[in-house]
Amino acid sequence: MKFKLPEEVLECCKGFNKPSPIQSHAWPFLLDGRDFIGIAATGSGKTKLRDVLSVKPGNPAGVSSFCVYGGTSKGPQISSLKAGVDIVIGTPGRLKDLIEMGFCCLKEVSYVVLDEADRMLDMGFEPEVRSILSQTSSIRQMVMFSATWPPSVHQLAQEFMDPNPVKVVVGSEDLSANHDVMQIVEVLDDRSRDARLVTLLEKYHKSQKNRVLVFVLYKKEAARVENMLQKRGWKAVSVHGDKAQRDRTNALSLFKDGICPLMVATDVAARGLDIPDVEVVINYSFPLTYVRLRHWDREDRSSREAGQLVPTDLMKFGTHVKKKESKLYGAHFKEISADAPKSKKITFNDSDGED
């Protein structure tokens, strides 16, 4: 299929030499108004696809957009919505709240995008997503992007999309390890993790100038690890759910600007971030599920593309992993000789563990 992108779209794509595979396959159908499902790995260019319809021919030059999200006051967001906007970008929870309060009506929406669909549902936002989609007109174009194609996402597409949407898969629909990155797993006593983290930082963050991400599971753990690192002289900041949005934004700015190049974050707070030039990712807490592991594994895109990423996972003795996912973990890792002690108790069971 041959087509010519309008000048408005080409202006939006400045800096790109050529479209990625998912982009070249998707753009003709998006511009044709078809319901579309795009399955491709994170960093493949899916998010850029939605920009095309935002500036497609026929849209007025003065298109306005606004972002709504939690952790901030609803007042300014309500004022902007009352003034009228053409495009609303929102997180499920806050958008649902504003709809229920009567400040955001979706009956005349002509274009709906669900980005990171698998991750959104994995994080527990399916009720909010369903509620939001049910408020939209059936006469609208719907586009769904996802890195994988689990049953939950498939079911959502069946219920809310055209019976015959265009579906393009680049790569695999299933979860798989990133073959371009060697991920190191160290099994050690829980009390040794702080000391091991510091040792890793002394190795990979000696200059205290390169960017390092440390992922943890829980909000309290993020605050504790940040405090521990600061007391030991590291320029560290943290991003987690107990911080106000303003403080999270400030911490992220300090990290991006290199003022505090070491950031501790929970996966919930850090989801969707695209931070360039991160050289090292350390999973201080081993993810509870394989899906979370894969999400953590795809956080920094530009560093991975440049082959610079050094990911390390610290798994403590007694770690519990869901039994049905044991083979997935086994496919993701292989045992290598290392100085770290061998585990004697890694248990696979059917419990989800603490969330």
Which two structure tokens, joined as six digits, stand for 162?
Answer: 């055209």
Is the confidence at residue 50, as pLDDT, over 60? no
Contact 35, 161 (CB under 8 A): yes
Query: Average pLDDT of 168-172?
Result: 82
State residue 332's pLDDT score: 46
| Residues 208-230: tens digit of each pLDDT | 999 998 989 889 999 999 999 99
Contact 215, 265 (CB under 8 A): yes
Higher pLDDT, 332 or 255: 255
Which range, 276-285, 328-337, 345-354, is most confident? 276-285
Chain center to CA of 154: 19
The Cα 174–Cα 337 span in angstroms is 29
State residue 178's pLDDT score: 56
Is the confidence at residue 300, as pLDDT, over 50? no
Q: How confident is the model at residue 110 (pLDDT cuts 50, 70, 90)?
A: very high
Query: Average pLDDT of 281-290?
Result: 72
The Cα 95–Cα 37 span in angstroms is 22
State residue 99's pLDDT score: 96
Which two structure tokens, joined as six digits, stand for 224?
Answer: 């504790």
| Residues 302-345: tens digit of each pLDDT | 344 434 555 666 666 544 444 444 444 444 444 444 444 444 43
Among 161, 157, 72, smallest CA distance to 121 is for: 157
Residue ranges, comma separated, of all CATH 3.40.50.300 domains in the chain are 7-169, 184-349
The Cα 341–Cα 135 span in angstroms is 54
The Cα 107–Cα 84 span in angstroms is 14
DSSP 100-120: HTTS---TT--EEEE-SHHHH
Query: Average pLDDT of 186-198?
Result: 87
What are the Cα distances from residue 289, in Å, to 26, 115, 268, 355? 31, 21, 14, 10
Residues ≥6 apart with Cβ < 8 Å to 110: 137, 139, 140, 141
State residue 343's pLDDT score: 42
Which range is least confidently modeled, 127-136, 147-156, 169-178?
Answer: 169-178
Question: 10 Å Cβ neighbour count for 68?
Answer: 23
The Cα 49–Cα 319 span in angstroms is 40
State residue 341's pLDDT score: 46
Is the confidence at residue 59, as pLDDT, over 80? no
Is the confidence at residue 348, as pLDDT, over 70? no
Contact 183, 296 (CB under 8 A): no
The Cα 307–Cα 181 span in angstroms is 8
Which range is least confidently modeled, 62-71, 126-135, 189-198?
Answer: 62-71
Which two structure tokens, joined as six digits, stand for 109?
Answer: 């929406």
Among 189, 180, 122, 131, smallest CA distance to 160 is for: 131
State residue 123's pLDDT score: 77
State residue 22's pLDDT score: 85
List the Cα angle 78/82/87 in 5-degree steps: 90
Higher pLDDT, 244 or 298: 244
Which range is least confidently modeled, 100-104, 106-110, 291-295?
Answer: 291-295
Element (H, E) at 300: none
Domain 7-169, CATH number (from 3.90.550.10, 3.40.50.300, 2.40.160.40, 3.40.50.1970) = 3.40.50.300
**Tally of CA atoms within 13 A in the half-sphere of 342 that contains its CB:** 4
Is the confidence at residue 279, as pLDDT, over 80? yes
What are the Cα distances from residue 238, in Å, to 20, 50, 119, 250, 272? 33, 31, 22, 10, 16
Look at residue 284 and give its three-state secondary structure.
Answer: coil
Per CATH, the homologous superfamily of domain 184-349 is: P-loop containing nucleotide triphosphate hydrolases (3.40.50.300)
Higher pLDDT, 353 or 112: 112
State residue 143's pLDDT score: 94
Contact 178, 301 (CB under 8 A): no
pTM: 0.66
Look at residue 320 and give its three-state secondary structure.
Answer: strand
Is the confidence at residue 252, as pLDDT, over 50? yes
Higher pLDDT, 336 or 204: 204
State residue 72's pLDDT score: 84
Which range is least confidently modeled, 12-16, 157-161, 251-255, 283-287?
Answer: 12-16
Is the confidence at residue 269, as pLDDT, over 90? no
